[in-house]
Amino acid sequence: MTVKLGANRYGKAETRLVRVVKDGPVHHIKDVNVSTALSGDMEAAHLSGDNAAVLPTDSQKNTVFAFAREHGVAEIETFALLLARHFVETRPTVHHARVEVEEYAWNRRGPHSFVRDGGEVRTCVVHHDRDGRTTVVSGLKDLVVLNSTGSEFHGYIVDPYTTLQPTDDRVLATAVAARWRHTGQTPSYAKSYEQVRGALLEAFAGTHSLSLQQTLYAMGERALTTCPEICEVRLTLPNKHHFAVDLSPFGLDNDNEVFHAADRPYGLIEGGVLREDAPDAGFAWE
Ligand SMILES: O=c1[nH]c(=O)c2[nH]c(=O)[nH]c2[nH]1
């Protein structure tokens, strides 16, 4: 039997970096998690242990810190682009770079004092290859939202295993994970982030929901119509079930006022919405 090397990439995962910018007594912080992954002429490294083509993951990590010092960390997408281009353009054996960045938000409490915002995480994944092809996918995760009414679920398949009761009033809650693909260079990733985030929240709150699937589509559609710089949105929505508790044993009614917020299992609703004329995604989602 003969075998051969398949797809491979390597890099430093989760370099945790905090960059402080000192504007006199007023400081600014950027708290990020950077993962780099490179691929290219890596056959010899895998087949014979010849590391001549390998830029060590330790050097990749050092590059992240050095670039933060030299260039600062403005928007995560621009920092990721800088790193991806650097690895491909300075190392001939590296043909493709994938750089993923997560950003954790802090709120100001004073000139040099901050409190960590426990809310959502901003994300991006940038690819760049030696043919000059570049893709940027931005996103967010852990954006937890809830509608205490305005959600129904009925009309589904009933089979011998069905116990779920149809409802015309339930709590709808989810932790939104959304990623969106930029068509080209976006002038301000911060602005498009705010536009898409706002659109997702507006659509969640403003849609009278007949299912989380319908809400997902409405959220993706709103993001695309609000932000012309993006062509595709992918959403992952866990259905954070809230079950009305039966209080009748205690002689109490419960008109959707007391819920058990269940943890597991949860429904998981996933889907993409894209413009009819969206260009080919290439390696953007990898
Ligand atoms: O919005 C929903 N979609 C489903 O597919 C589903 N399935 C289920 O049990 N509850 C729900 N809710």
pLDDT one-digit tens code per residue, 145-163: 999 999 999 999 999 999 9
Q: 227, 196 in Cβ contact below 8 A?
A: yes
- Report the pLDDT value the prediction gives residue 98, as an integer from 0 to 100: 99
Does the structural domain 15-116 have CATH classification 3.30.1130.10? Answer: yes
- Report the pLDDT value the prediction gives residue 105, as an integer from 0 to 100: 97
Write out residues with Cβ below 6 Å of ligand 1: 153, 164, 211-213, 239, 267
Question: Quick check: helix, strand or coil at residue 74?
Answer: coil
- Report the pLDDT value the prediction gives residue 102, as an integer from 0 to 100: 98
Q: 40, 53 in Cβ contact below 8 A?
A: yes
- Report the pLDDT value the prediction gives residue 190, as an integer from 0 to 100: 96
In the block, tokens 């940038």 appear at 126
* Ligand 1 atom at minimum distance from 172 CA: 1
Provide block-wise average pLDDT over 10 residues at a time, the chain (286 residues): 98 98 98 98 98 98 98 98 98 98 98 95 98 98 98 98 98 98 91 98 98 98 97 98 98 97 97 98 98
Give the amino acid at 144.
Answer: V
Q: What is the pLDDT of residues 221-243, one digit of tens each?
A: 999 999 999 999 999 999 999 99
Contacts of 250 (CB under 8 A, 6+ apart): none
Sheet strands (E) in 8-157: 15-23, 26-40, 94-110, 113-129, 134-147
Percent of the chain with pLDDT over 70: 100
* Ligand 1 atom at minimum distance from 209 CA: 1
Q: Residue 198: count other Cβ atoms within 10 Å of its Cβ.
A: 14
Residue nearest to atom 12 of ligand 1 (CA): 211
Which superfamily does CATH assign the domain made up of 142-274 to?
A: Urate Oxidase; (3.10.270.10)
pTM: 0.96
Tell me, in angstroms, the distance from the centre of ligand 1 to residue 157's CA: 11
- Report the pLDDT value the prediction gives residue 20, as an integer from 0 to 100: 98
**58 burial class (0-12, 13-18, 19+ CB within 10 angstroms)?**
exposed
Distance, CA of 53 to CA of 221 (rounded, Å): 45
Domain ranges of the chain: 15-116, 142-274
- ipTM value: 0.99
- Report the pLDDT value the prediction gives residue 187, as an integer from 0 to 100: 85
Q: Number of C-alpha atoms within 13 angstroms, CB side, residue 66?
A: 8
The DSSP bridge partners found for residue 136 are 126
- Report the pLDDT value the prediction gives residue 103, as an integer from 0 to 100: 98
Q: 63, 29 in Cβ contact below 8 A?
A: no
Distance, CA of 188 to CA of 113 (rounded, Å): 27
Q: What is the pLDDT of residues 115-138, one digit of tens each?
A: 999 889 999 999 999 999 999 999
Tell me, in angstroms, the distance from the centre of ligand 1 to residue 99's CA: 35
Tell me, in angstroms, the distance from the centre of ligand 1 to residue 272's CA: 18
In testing the pocket of ligand 1, which one of 158, 208, 212 has its CB within 8 Å of the most ligand atoms? 212
Question: Quick check: helix, strand or coil at residue 179?
Answer: strand
Question: Quick check: helix, strand or coil at residue 75?
Answer: coil
